[in-house]
Amino acid sequence: MQVATPRMSIQPAVHSEARFPNAFEDLMRDGYVILPEAISSLKSRLICAEVAPHLAATPKCVGDFYGWKTTRVGGLLNKAPSTQDLVLHPDVLAITRAALQPSCDCIQLNLTQAIRVHPQERAQAPHRDEEMWPHEPKLRPWLINVMWPLTAFTKENGATRLWPGSHTDVLDRSIDPARSIPAEMQPGDALVFLGALTHGAGENRSNAPRDGIIVSYCLGWLKQYENQFLAYPPAVARSFPTPLQRLIGYQMHRPNLGGWEGQDPIQALATNPHTLCPHVDALTPDIARQLKAHYGEDA
């Protein structure tokens, strides 16, 4: 039996996605939304070409979650630099912030991962990506996933399978496959879905690989799935645009979380970072006011 999990109503913090005006509402209602032609097919081909050698050189995965006839490659932002445009996609970021920012000071990148589902790979077990944080109930979204197809996604070749509306139920690993739908898409489209939506890669019954890139974002106070500071240590991250440096985690999450030597961790990207620095508060305006009031000072 499925027990409905109470979820608080969600007020969008940012809601300016001009090209996809209903996307946020669709996402929150159904648990997913497809953004058609979110990037050009040219850009998608470029990303595909950059990722291809890495997918070809990487051994197949090991495990019943990752799949045995599946290849995955992480840390794409420097291996395939055009993926930076996926991560910084303005419409996706607007939708993601609207969904996550009510529950955090700033969002962060959770992972980038290319996924090749090879012919004869079985359907991945139904799951939720929010399972990695074992805390229930989650009253609001903790994670937003974006699947960017690099090849056409079809019912036959393993398009991601989604159980629409399942984000409001508890996870049921034996959920009826007949109630799922394949996210059929073309390169350039983007599938945005909630981390609480039950889903899985489909079975690949075709004779060609199905390739896609997952980009996911999570609340800024969570442990990221992919260790971004190993994927992009300062020597690598230094060349990234500042908004990307911030998203991967070189940022403070107020109050005072994620600093380095008491400073904004973006200082670590300076050519000669200082380490003898004072710890400097990074407080939310609310907490700053409360502390002033506590000490009897004017706000």
Ligand X SMILES: O=C(O)CCC(=O)C(=O)O
CA angle 39, 57, 162 (to 5 degrees): 45
Fill in the amino acid letter for 295.
Y
Binding status of residue 200 toward ligand X by CB under 6 A: yes
Strands (DSSP E) along 134-248, which ranges?
143-149, 161-162, 181-182, 190-194, 199-200, 210-219
C-alpha 7, offset from chain centre: 20
Binding status of residue 150 toward ligand X by CB under 6 A: no
Which of these, 127, 159, 147, lies nearest to 216 by C-alpha position?
147
CB closer to ligand X out of 217 and 240? 217
| Chosen from ligand X, Fe ion, none, partner binding at 89 (C-beta under 5 to 8 Å by type) | none
Q: Is the distance from CB of 172 to CB of 197 less than 8 angstroms? A: no
Binding status of residue 129 toward ligand X by CB under 6 A: yes
Binding status of residue 128 toward ligand X by CB under 6 A: no
| 86 vs 47: CA distance, rounded Å | 9
Using CB under 6 A as the binding criterion, the count of chain residues that bind ligand X stands at: 9
CB closer to ligand X out of 110 and 245? 110
The one among 103, 160, 198, 224 contacting ligand X by CB under 6 A = 160
CB closer to Fe ion out of 215 and 252? 215
Q: What's the first-to-final CA gap in the chain, in angstroms?
A: 52
CB contact set of 81 (below 8 Å; sequence gap of 6+) = 50
Q: Is the distance from CB of 291 to CB of 283 less than 8 angstroms? A: yes
Binding status of residue 199 toward ligand X by CB under 6 A: yes
CB closer to ligand X out of 17 and 129? 129
Binding status of residue 115 toward ligand X by CB under 6 A: yes
Identify the bridge partners of residue 107 per DSSP, sorted by sequence position: 219
* Binding segment (CB under 6 A) for ligand X, from list 39-47, 82-90, 193-201, 246-254: 193-201
Site for Fe ion in 124-163 (CB under 5 A): 129
Contacts to Fe ion by CB under 5 A: 129
Contacts to ligand X by CB under 6 A: 115, 117, 124, 129, 160, 199-201, 212
